[in-house]
Amino acid sequence: MPVRAAWHTLQTADSRITPDSITLAGACQFPLYSAAGREYRILLSIPEQEAPSSGYPVIYMLDGHAVFNTVLDAERAQSRRSEKTGVAPSVIVGIGYPSGLPFSPERHNDYTLPVPAEHLPPSRDGLPWPQHGGADLFLDFIEDTLKPQIEQLLPIDRSRQTLFGHSFGGLFTLHALFTRPDAFRCYVAGSPSLHWGGPQIQQEETSFINRLREERRELHLLIALGELESGAPFHMRHRAQGLYDRLQALEEQGLKVNFRVFEGENHGSTLPSLVSPMLRTAAL
């Protein structure tokens, strides 16, 4: 049934039903532009509790329109009893796009590395990959535009910042960790697309490992994916497991790594499954 017809049927049955948007208490959205003039749609949630003297912890989540409501509901439910759940009242910042789509096409450029054509994996439909390689510009936007805006609006504890991404967003999260480890304290990479431009992300990983061995940092990383993400052509579980095995050797250098596999979940269903473990990681 078309949407308009469905609304007409509902309103005919009950005049109290209206097609107005549902408003989330304590949440808002606003446009924000990068230095290059690119528009983003920022979703912002503020805890009901007063900020501690050090400021609120903050979670920056990619694909903002995908699970913002889910993260918000989980954070509010669990942070009421922080002493039992380990989840702290936190500011949640979802980074989305004007389309409002859960996974907007613009993400492909923002979350990927500038990979040479010979290192690109085959696309699912056999067509050329869309524009890609804007990860550093997007990270500049987060660091130079978005974070200052949030810190102007709210008291933020800069020592308790988390970056959360899934799929290409998980790849971007690892890129941020490897190239700018001081940008966040906690990094949550769900189902990271490590097949994308393997040689480049591997080089970044190697540089990060060497950097951490030279200068210790207190960092937390959660890598998680679904049990059903093991097959060809991307072999995501094998790649993620290998990354975990290599990075867990850095515990003495301050990197705490956790690895989760969600039983019975696939690439898409892993995202909501990851929300609660992400919140607990952000509270570390």
Question: Of the residues 175, 229, 265, 273, which is catalytic?
Answer: 229
Is the pLDDT at 39 greater than 70? The verdict is yes
Q: What is the pLDDT of residue 257?
A: 98
Residue 15: which pLDDT band, with cuts at 50, 70 and 90? low
Is the pLDDT at 133 greater than 80? The verdict is yes
Least confident of 152-161, 188-197, 251-260: 188-197
Is the pLDDT at 3 greater than 90? The verdict is no
Q: What is the pLDDT of residue 123?
A: 67
Q: What is the pLDDT of residue 237?
A: 92
**Percent helix / strand / coil, the chain, rounded to 5:** 40, 20, 40
Q: What is the pLDDT of residue 4?
A: 65
User: Are the CB atoms for 72 and 28 separated by under 8 Å?
Assistant: no
Question: Of the residues 108, 195, 235, 267, which is catalytic?
Answer: 267
Phi-psi region of 55 (alpha: psi -120 to 50; beta: other; left: phi over 0): left
Is the pLDDT at 230 greater than 90? The verdict is no
From the list 21, 29, 146, the residue with the least C-alpha distance to 99 is: 29
Least confident of 8-12, 44-48, 189-193, 271-275: 8-12
Is the pLDDT at 94 greater than 90? The verdict is yes
Q: Look up residue 204 and give its DSSP letter.
A: H
User: Are the CB atoms for 204 and 178 separated by under 8 Å?
Assistant: yes
User: Are the CB atoms for 257 and 221 separated by under 8 Å?
Assistant: yes
Q: From residue 181, how far is each of 45, 118, 136, 252, 263 by CA, in Å? A: 25, 28, 13, 16, 30
Q: Where are the domains of the chain?
A: 24-282
- Mean predicted confidence (pLDDT) in 156-165: 97
User: Are the CB atoms for 90 and 58 separated by under 8 Å?
Assistant: yes
Is the pLDDT at 73 greater than 80? The verdict is yes
CATH architecture of 24-282: 3-Layer(aba) Sandwich (3.40)
pTM here is 0.91
19-53: b or e for each residue (b if 16 or more CB lie within 10 Å)? eeeeeeeeeebeebebeeebebbbbbbbbeeebee
Q: What is the pLDDT of residue 45?
A: 93
Residue 206 sits at φ, ψ, to 5 deg, of: -60, -45
Coil vs helix vs strand at 207 = helix
Is the pLDDT at 21 greater than 60? The verdict is yes
CA 262 to centroid of chain Cα atoms:
18
Q: What is the pLDDT of residue 167?
A: 95
Is the pLDDT at 1 greater than 50? The verdict is no
Q: From residue 141, how far is each of 19, 38, 46, 255, 261 by CA, in Å? A: 35, 10, 21, 26, 32
Query: Over the chain, what is the mean pLDDT?
Result: 90
User: Are the CB atoms for 28 and 68 separated by under 8 Å?
Assistant: no
Question: Of the residues 167, 191, 193, 273, which is catalytic?
Answer: 167
User: Are the CB atoms for 188 and 162 separated by under 8 Å?
Assistant: yes
The span from the CA of 15 to the CA of 69, in Å, is 27
User: Are the CB atoms for 170 and 183 separated by under 8 Å?
Assistant: no
From the list 238, 282, 279, 284, the residue with the least C-alpha distance to 261 is: 238
Is the pLDDT at 180 greater than 80? The verdict is yes
Any catalytic annotation for residue 167?
A: yes
From the list 138, 164, 150, 156, the residue with the least C-alpha distance to 63 is: 164
- The rounded percent of the chain whose pLDDT value lies above 90 is 73
Residue 175: which pLDDT band, with cuts at 50, 70 and 90? very high
Is the pLDDT at 228 greater than 90? The verdict is yes
Is the pLDDT at 6 greater than 70? The verdict is no
Q: What is the pLDDT of residue 155?
A: 95
Q: What is the pLDDT of residue 22?
A: 63
Q: Record the tokens describing residue 79, joined without a space.
A: 């942070």
Any catalytic annotation for residue 267?
A: yes
